[in-house]
Structure 1
Amino acid sequence: MARQETPYHQIRALYDDDSITVYQAYNSQIAEEAVRQQSLRVPGWSCERMTWIKPSWTWMMYRSGFSYKDANQSHILAIRMTHENFESILAQSSISHSNFTGQKAPVRVQWDPERTPSTRGKLPYRSIQIGIGRSVAEKWADEMILSIEDVTETARRMHQDVEAGMAPEELAKMYIHERVYEIKNEEVRRIIRLDAVAGDAGEGPSTDA
């Protein structure tokens, strides 16, 4: 039997029965205080601009340069939230650059090309990025976060292994512990266009340049 290809839009995440993990990158001051207080409501954190969360570890590594991109992304935080809250955020979203919606939603969803384990290449399927606007971000920061962990050292160990030439399979086995995250709610699937295929109208330009 031929191996089934990964769907064009698919949520892949680290999760258990109670929670799902998403990632963000911050400067050292915000990250250290957020971990200490187990809250993002710390000096320097702001919800005035849209805050983006990423379930994909590899995409977070790509976007932050394994925490080396710049000082404002020098610490990678793993943020746990319940499945219910994660899906409630998705239910309030619309697709960035989509031609299918004329209203401004408080949450924006983007599907960008997933990266190879080294982050140096694009894969033919996409990874979800979720932008949380102020009206939702305040509630997210105050009520929806279960725990915050600094995983920067893991990111930097992965970078060392990438630079040492570790094979993609070994990188994936060591660092990418994600499974397919199923969304059963049909309305949420429709909103985030989970079942879209390559070439669908309304697919916005990639933001991973």
Structure 2
Amino acid sequence: MEEPTRRIRAAHSDSTITVYQAYSREIGLPAARDGRFPAAWKRDRMTWIKPSFLWMMYRCGWGAKEGQETVLAVEISREGFDWALRNACLSSYAHGLHPDRATWQRQLKRAPARVQWDPERDLRLQPMPYRSLQLGLSGEAARRYADEWTISIRDVTPLAHEIHALVGSGDLDSAARLLPQERPYPVEDEVLAPLHG
């Protein structure tokens, strides 16, 4: 079956979805230890969450980029994730989807969440022909994410390094077996329709 151009793929259960972020050790290690974001985590700044493990690996260089050395798997409530989607705006203007650029800018300014679709990545971090979701959270959404939606936080940096080492040695089959099992995330069409730029 052909993969749609835009689809949310994620590790999820009946009640939770796993998203990924990468932080400095000063933020990431206490977050993983305590299962909550520390006070130093700025709730008034936009934060981007990524349901795609490999897109996170592309973004953080397998946990090697400065300030992104700790890769976190954050399990959040599906209720919270769905709220963010329902209250999101596309991060860029889409002709035909928005009546005009000014209307989109007003929506973007009001929205506590924004959606961006970026090419999914393969194990070598090369772009795939379909896209994965990034979800930016600010204001109310960022605060809810940190203080209400988060169920657990795990440090998956060792997993990132192990998969990267296998890819580096050419053992893609073993690397693929270690990847989190991501599958299509169920979202109502009317929720995603305004976000398909």
Question: Normalised by the size of structure 1, how large is the TM-score?
Answer: 0.84
Q: State the 1:170 CA deviation.
A: 4.0
Q: Does 1:175 align with 2:171?
A: no
How large is the Cα RMSD of the aligned pairs? 1.4
**What residue in structure 2 maps to residue 69 of structure 1?**
65
Q: How does 1:1-209 map to 2 (within 5 A)?
A: 4-40=1-37, 42-70=38-66, 72-99=67-94, 100=98, 101-102=104-105, 103=107, 104=109, 105-119=111-125, 121-167=126-172, 169-184=173-188, 186-193=189-196, 203=197
How many percent identity over aligned positions? 41
Give secondary structure in 2 for the equivalent of 1:187.
Answer: helix
The separation in 2 between residues aligned to 1:153 and 1:174, in whole angstroms, is 11
Mapped to 2, the partners of 1:49 and 1:18 lie a distance apart of: 27
Alignment check: 8 A CA contact 2:113 2:137 kept = yes
Structure 2 residue ranges without an equivalent (≥5): 99-103
> Please, what TM-score do these two structures have when normalized by structure 2?
0.89
Kindly provide the amino acid, as one letter, of the partner of residue 108 in structure 1: R
- Alpha-carbon distance, 1:56 to partner: 0.2
One-letter code aligned to 1:73: Q
Q: Which has the higher helix share?
A: 2
Output the CA distance in 2 between the equivalents of 1:172 and 1:182: 23
How many residue pairs get matched? 186
Describe the SS at the equivalent of 1:73.
coil
- Measured in 1, the distance between the counterparts of 2:162 and 2:77 equals 28
| Contact 2:114-2:135 at 8 Å conserved across structures | yes
CA shift at 1:176, angstroms? 3.7
